[in-house]
Structure formats: C-alpha cells, structure tokens
Amino acid sequence: MSNRTHHIGIVMNGVTGRMGTNQHLMRSLVAIIKQGGIPVGAGEVIIPDPVLVGRNPAKLEKIAAESGVTKWTTDLDATLADPHNAIYFDAQTTARRVDAVKRAIAAGKHIYCEKPTAQTTAEALELYRLAKAAGLKNGVVQDKLWLPGLLKLKHLIDSGFFGRIHSVRGEFGYWVFEGDTIPAQRPSWNYRKAEGGGIIIDMLSHFRYVLDNLFGDVQAICCLGATHVGKRWDEEGKPYDCTAEDAAYSTFELAGGIVAHIDASWCFRVRRDDLLVLQVDGAKGSAVAGLRNCWMQPYAETPRPVWNPDVESPINYYDGWQQYESDRSYENAFKAEWELFLRHVVKDEPFRWTLLEGAKGVQLAEIGEQSWKTRKWIDIPKLEA
C-alpha cells in the first residue's frame, strides 16, 4: 500500500466540560496529534483534525489556545455540513445528546459519544438503529475497560488465577462538596433529575460494561437509590434542592452464578485504596483492583482466622497480598479507546463497543430505577439489535 496520511475531521461537541476538555481533547486527541498520529501500516498514519463545538465562545477560544486546536465554533450545523468532518463526538449533558446525535446521523457522520447515550432505553436503541440503518460506524465511551487496574484484573481472570469466580464486590465514589463553603467537584445538573442527573444513570451505565466484559452478562438487578444530601449550591452560588439520587446500592446476578454488589455514592469519604475498587473472590484466589493497581492473594497465602472479638486479631490482613507486577506500559484509558475507534473508521478494524452496548448500560440504569421504586428484583431482558 502506498504511503498515506489520513486527516480525519472530528466534530467535538460539548468539549467545554471537564471530561470533554481533559480526557477526550487534551489527553486523547491532542496527545495523538503530538505523537505524530496513529501508525496503521508502513508509512500510513491517522491524524485527528478536531473542531471544537460548544455554546460559550469565550470558553471555546480559551480551550483552543491551550490545546493548539485552531478550529472552534458555536455553529454545530456548519460543522455537520462540512464533508471533511467524518466523525461526530458528543460529550454534552445527557439531556442534549439524543437530538444532536440524530442530527449527526442525518448528516452522515460516524458516531462516537459519551455514556449514557440517552435517558431512556428506547432512545438509546433508536440511536443505534438509526446509525446502523445509515451504514455508519458507531461507538460509545467505555473507558474503564482500559484502566491499568482492570486490565491487570482481566489478565488474572484469563489466566485462570481465580478458578471459579463466585463473587464481585465493589465501591465507587467520594465526597462531593455541597458548594456553599467549598466548591463542588461536580456540575449542579448531576443532582437535577430533569436535566439527566442522578448517580444511577451515570454509574450503572459504567457497571454494565465492566460486569459484562470482565465477569459475565448481567441477568438481574436489585437496586436501592438514595438522596443523602438534599441541598446543594450551583455554579453561581445559588442554593437548590437536589431532585436526583446521589447514592446507589446495587446487587447483580451474573451469568455463571456470579453474584456482584457495588455501592456508588457521591457521599462517601474514602478509606480504601482508590476511588473505584473491585474485589473478586474465587475458589483459587482473590484480587482487589483499583484504577491503576491490582493486588492478589492466592489460596496458599490465604490466612486462617478464628473468630474471637474479645482479643486483638493476631493477623494483619494486609499481609499475604502481593501486588500484580506488569512489564507493559498503559495508555490513558480514553486515548486507548479513541485509537481503536479511529482505526475502526479508517481501516475497518473490529470495534465491538457500539451504541448497542451503550443502550445496554442505559437499560440497566432504567431497570435499576424501576427496582428501586418497586422494591423488587428485576430480570434484564436481552436487547434486540
């Protein structure tokens, strides 16, 4: 094949948000540009050519100056009409996503977007079906699959370290300040239901792809939501009542008889190894994975405690765990998936994290909310593409 450079126009809508700026623009596309693109063959390379889209010209101009990306606009329609732009990426608030993605599909753009892809399963499935009917490549951000800690955990699973896995226990979250005396770390819309807020739609969309891809398909859920902090202050310092839940306590039945339980909260104070921790227990051993690190305890190193609450335990339960060491290097998780999607668009390489997978995450969140409201276990039906 002759030497070729593929300059791929990418409409980046919603890039003024924290995730859009930091993870998708600076640490993914700008990083790819700075490394000289993505090599895909002898003398062949893919180079992203982003155009920044948003509603605030001042923010866009500032981000453009900081990133070195020269193109920005508040006119989404103009970017969709430009044939140079092959990909539409959406990192807006969830409530704005469906309409914009539909417009991009109508304009013939390949679709890559943040999760959750919609607020309802029906809308999320519609986006997938529209993209598929139009013959467009499509994908959803499922970044946690490329985190170093979870990649190490996946290697242990694939190597048979655990034997038969019987349970997964996870915690995600941290304390998000209310915004009155100390600035909040999350936007106020996260706590307003009408604007697509709530930790169930946010985090169960993540938990679906993590559980499905690492352990087994989610088959049923029992979920309890809660709003622990009822009053917060917005970006302008004005108080508001929280209408969305800020914590979710979920138990899942997975294929193969595995039981998983994950607590997610923006009202946790962290006393664990990381903001996200998963403990996996199996017949032959256990492991605890965070965002970057993973510790394991094989059967032979498992202590033999005897229950006696009247004396100090003679066992230090942190002993007997060894850190997983790897000789490989790990990319930023968002950048890793961006590279795979760009190769998919340009070279038609496989990419299985489609909008259908995104719809599965929305489905789990929607059924999780139903479980909370009805106080019942609910089975997860298979989504038909």
Over the stretch 40-51, which tens digit does the pLDDT of each residue have? Answer: 988 999 999 999
Q: Is the pLDDT of residue 3 over 70?
A: no
Q: What angle do CA 95, 104, 118 make, to 5 degrees?
A: 25
Average pLDDT for 93-122: 96
Average pLDDT for 133-161: 97
In this structure, are 8 and 125 located in the same domain? yes
Q: Which secondary structure element, helix H or strand E, spans residue 155, and what is its range?
A: helix 148-159
In a domain, 383, yes or no: no
Q: Is the pLDDT of residue 385 over 80?
A: no
In a domain, 358, yes or no: no
In a domain, 373, yes or no: yes
Structure tokens at 101: 């993605």
Query: pTM score, two decimals?
Result: 0.94
The full DSSP string for 85-135 is EEEEEE-S-HHHHHHHHHHHHHTT-EEEEPSS--SSHHHHHHHHHHHHHTT
Contacts of 35 by beta carbon, 8 Å cutoff, 6+ apart = none
In a domain, 62, yes or no: yes
What pLDDT is stored for residue 176 in this prediction? 98
Structure tokens at 215: 């352990």
For residue range 347-376, what is the model confidence (pLDDT) as tens digits? Answer: 999 999 999 999 999 999 999 999 999 999
Q: Is the pLDDT of residue 261 over 80?
A: yes
In this structure, are 48 and 163 located in the same domain? no
Could you give the percent of the chain with pLDDT greater than 70?
A: 99
Q: Is the pLDDT of residue 57 over 60?
A: yes
Count up the domains in the chain and report the number: 2
In this structure, are 286 and 339 located in the same domain? no
In this structure, are 151 and 137 located in the same domain? no
In a domain, 384, yes or no: no
Q: Which domain holds residue 78?
A: 4-143+333-353
In a domain, 21, yes or no: yes
Determine contact, residues 136/111, Cβ cutoff 8 Å. Answer: yes
Instruction: Report which of 175, 217, 225, 178 is spatially closest to residue 200, judged by C-alpha positions.
Output: 225
For residue range 113-139, what is the model confidence (pLDDT) as tens digits? Answer: 999 999 999 999 999 999 999 999 999
Determine contact, residues 54/16, Cβ cutoff 8 Å. Answer: yes
Structure tokens at 141: 């951000």
In this structure, are 36 and 133 located in the same domain? yes
In this structure, are 48 and 28 located in the same domain? yes
In this structure, are 137 and 149 located in the same domain? no
In this structure, are 179 and 116 located in the same domain? no
The enclosing domain of 28 has a CATH number of 3.40.50.720
The enclosing domain of 297 has a CATH number of 3.30.360.10
Question: How far is the C-alpha of 207 from the C-alpha of 142, rounded, in Å?
Answer: 10
In a domain, 219, yes or no: yes
Determine contact, residues 89/113, Cβ cutoff 8 Å. Answer: yes
For residue range 155-199, what is the model confidence (pLDDT) as tens digits? Answer: 999 999 999 999 999 999 999 999 999 999 999 999 999 999 999
Question: How far is the C-alpha of 356 from the C-alpha of 129, rounded, in Å?
Answer: 8
In a domain, 385, yes or no: no
Q: Is the pLDDT of residue 239 over 80?
A: yes
In this structure, are 174 and 101 located in the same domain? no
pLDDT band, residue 278 (cuts 50/70/90): very high
Question: How far is the C-alpha of 155 from the C-alpha of 284, rounded, in Å?
Answer: 15
Q: Is the pLDDT of residue 1 over 60?
A: no
In this structure, are 341 and 258 located in the same domain? no
In this structure, are 61 and 192 located in the same domain? no
In this structure, are 221 and 111 located in the same domain? no
Show contacts of 232-239: CB within 8 Å, 24+ apart.
232/178, 232/179, 232/184, 232/188, 232/191, 233/178, 233/179, 233/180, 233/184, 233/188, 234/179, 234/188, 235/187, 235/188, 237/179, 237/180, 239/180
